[in-house]
Amino acid sequence: MIKCLKNAVILKHAYDTPVRQNLLIGDDRIIGFYPVEHVPKSDLIIDLDGMMIIPGMVQSHVHLPQVMFRGLADDLPLLSWLKEKIWPLEAAHDAESTYLSAMLGSMELIAGGVTTVCDMESVLYAEESARAIYEIGLRAVFGKVLMDYNDTPPELGGMPDTFFESTRETIDKAMELYHGWHGKADNRIRFAFMPRGILTTTEELLQELAYLSSETGCLVHTHACETRPESELVEERRGLTEIKYLHKLGLTNERLLLAHCVCVDDDDIAILRDKRIGVVSCPLTNLKLGSGIAPLEKMRIENVHLAFGSDGAPCNNNLDIFQEMKFASLLQKGTLHEPTAMNARDTFDIATRGGANVLGLDADIGTLEVGKKADLAVLDLDQHETAPLQYSVSSLVYAGNPHMVRHVMIDGRWVYRSGEFPDLDVARLREKALAAQKRVLSRYENK
């Protein structure tokens, strides 16, 4: 079906000037842009009445199975947060609760203008999160958490028994997901290898993942340099800083995607740049967990490939990419005492084209261009917080919020229309999620 979205103010990319145009979409791809006075022949014409069309935004590091635990693990340092709260809570999940958690998170992402997500699942039930993503229509890169070792401080407690997998077992389960899901839905769903971090993986596993990534072309996505104590522990146990250790194992290339990179030095940044490694900054999570502030502007100037993520709902506590953009920009301005740092256009570029780039999807998404996928969000900027009305990137980064998002299209299909999910019974899903949360918490409290 050919659709014409007419009378819209279109921002094709972060460095574009918004222009009132008509957008023509054929099936799942963009066919063309036309002056407002020229309404091309189409099967369906939708008048957007001056609303703004932007490229769908990309959340490049999220944990959808953790949405069920929003507000249940506040005010803790990272390793305590993981071992005392998150791992035991994740271990209490069942298949349905995992699916429902992923559905809640996917709805939040889409309603916030996000069309693509990189989702790091838990050790268990990763296929249920994938099923939720598939059904709701998100574009995604996903993978199960891979852990075959526990080198974290023993005084913080052990790993849940159900999380322990041998190296062979965790690889076999990952490959099962790869064969079952990679390329599904006309390549909308893609698989990645996702070791949780260096302290919970053996050198054997990481070396095997380097080989499998080269053979399959799949990304390797992990946490790195998130907090000073964790980074010091890695250096003590493995003899190198995290980036240098991954480099030694042959993992540092354009298929490596690292979340956080708060504690990186100049040598690390040089490796990130030279090896074209993707870095996902999660400003709000890093603040809430007291991890610090990543040197984003320095990495940007050094041409490190950057993206944004909201991480998990229990450490953020939402999945709002508008907040990530604003905080990312303002934190760099404030810490560097430089108001020109991380300007609005550079920041929005990271949230769109940058996210597409680190996921290896920039040929299809990240900007609005003829031939690319019709992944877009429609925003109503006629709001109190943006009055008088300005169609600008600045309005999106410094004053934008999810409530401005009216419609979202992925693969040329409306997945969110007039503030609603046309194919979902949202009230019923929330009701079932609440019942599932009670079930999970009962298991957690009686562990």
**293 exposed, middle or buried (CB, 10 Å; 0-12, 13-18, 19+)?**
middle
Q: What is the pLDDT of residue 404?
A: 97
Place of tokens 């249920």: 128
pLDDT tens digits, one per residue of 38-56: 999 999 999 999 999 999 9
* C-alpha to C-alpha distance for 163 and 142, rounded to whole angstroms: 18
* C-alpha to C-alpha distance for 433 and 427, rounded to whole angstroms: 10
Token representation of residue 217? 């072309």
Q: State the pairing for strand pair 278-281/256-260.
A: parallel
pLDDT at 155 over 60: no
Across 3-27, average pLDDT:
97
pLDDT at 370 over 60: yes
Place of tokens 């077992």: 169
What is the phi/psi pair of residue 256, to 5°?
-95, 130
Q: What is the pLDDT of residue 402?
A: 97
* C-alpha to C-alpha distance for 371 and 28, rounded to whole angstroms: 9
Which of 19-23, 332-336, 382-386 bottoms out in mean pLDDT, i.e. has the lowest? 382-386
Q: Tell me if 312 sits within 8 A of 339, measured CB to CB.
A: no
Domain at 273, CATH number? 3.20.20.140
Q: Which residues contact 330 (CB under 8 A, 6 or more apart)?
A: none
Q: Do 347 and 379 fall into the same domain?
A: no
Cis peptide before 317 (omega within 30 of 0): yes
pLDDT tens digits, one per residue of 287-320: 999 999 999 999 999 999 999 999 999 999 999 9
Across 395-423, average pLDDT:
97
The answer as to whether 45 is a domain residue is yes
pLDDT at 153 over 60: no
pLDDT at 29 over 80: yes
* C-alpha to C-alpha distance for 130 and 121, rounded to whole angstroms: 9
pLDDT at 366 over 90: yes
* C-alpha to C-alpha distance for 42 and 25, rounded to whole angstroms: 9
Q: Tell me if 237 sits within 8 A of 151, measured CB to CB.
A: yes
The average confidence (pLDDT) of the chain is: 95
Q: Do 46 and 128 fall into the same domain?
A: no
Q: What is the pLDDT of residue 151?
A: 66
The answer as to whether 437 is a domain residue is no
Q: What is the pLDDT of residue 154?
A: 60
* C-alpha to C-alpha distance for 281 and 354, rounded to whole angstroms: 11
Token representation of residue 252? 């540092």
Q: State the pairing for strand pair 2-10/44-47.
A: parallel
Across 161-189, average pLDDT:
95
Across 195-215, average pLDDT:
96
pLDDT at 125 over 90: yes
Across 186-191, average pLDDT:
98
Q: Do 264 and 404 fall into the same domain?
A: no
The answer as to whether 441 is a domain residue is no
Which of 124-133, 159-168, 238-247 bottoms out in mean pLDDT, i.e. has the lowest? 159-168
The pLDDT-based confidence of 72 (bands split at 50, 70, 90) is confident
Across 123-148, average pLDDT:
97
pLDDT tens digits, one per residue of 254-280: 999 999 999 999 999 999 999 999 999
The pLDDT-based confidence of 77 (bands split at 50, 70, 90) is confident
pLDDT at 158 over 90: no
Q: Do 31 and 143 fall into the same domain?
A: no
Domain count, the chain: 2
Q: Do 48 and 78 fall into the same domain?
A: no
The answer as to whether 109 is a domain residue is yes
Q: Do 93 and 36 fall into the same domain?
A: no
pLDDT at 394 over 70: yes
Q: Do 20 and 148 fall into the same domain?
A: no
Q: What is the pLDDT of residue 321?
A: 98
Q: Do 195 and 323 fall into the same domain?
A: yes
- Higher-pLDDT residue of 161 and 232 is 232
The boundaries of the domain holding residue 97 are: 66-358
What is the phi/psi pair of residue 139, to 5°?
-90, 135
Cis peptide before 22 (omega within 30 of 0): no
Sign of CA pseudo-dihedral 420, 421, 425, 430: negative
* C-alpha to C-alpha distance for 13 and 55, rounded to whole angstroms: 7
Q: What is the pTM (predicted TM-score) of this model?
A: 0.96
pLDDT at 152 over 70: no
CB atoms < 10 A from the CB of 373, how many? 29
The answer as to whether 424 is a domain residue is no
pLDDT at 159 over 90: no
**166 exposed, middle or buried (CB, 10 Å; 0-12, 13-18, 19+)?**
exposed
pLDDT at 191 over 80: yes
Q: Do 381 and 336 fall into the same domain?
A: no
**pLDDT over 70, % of the chain:** 98
Token representation of residue 438? 């009670």
Q: Do 210 and 325 fall into the same domain?
A: yes
Q: Do 303 and 242 fall into the same domain?
A: yes
* C-alpha to C-alpha distance for 39 and 144, rounded to whole angstroms: 46
pLDDT at 81 over 90: no
What's the number of CA atoms in the CB half-sphere (13 Å) around residue 270?
4
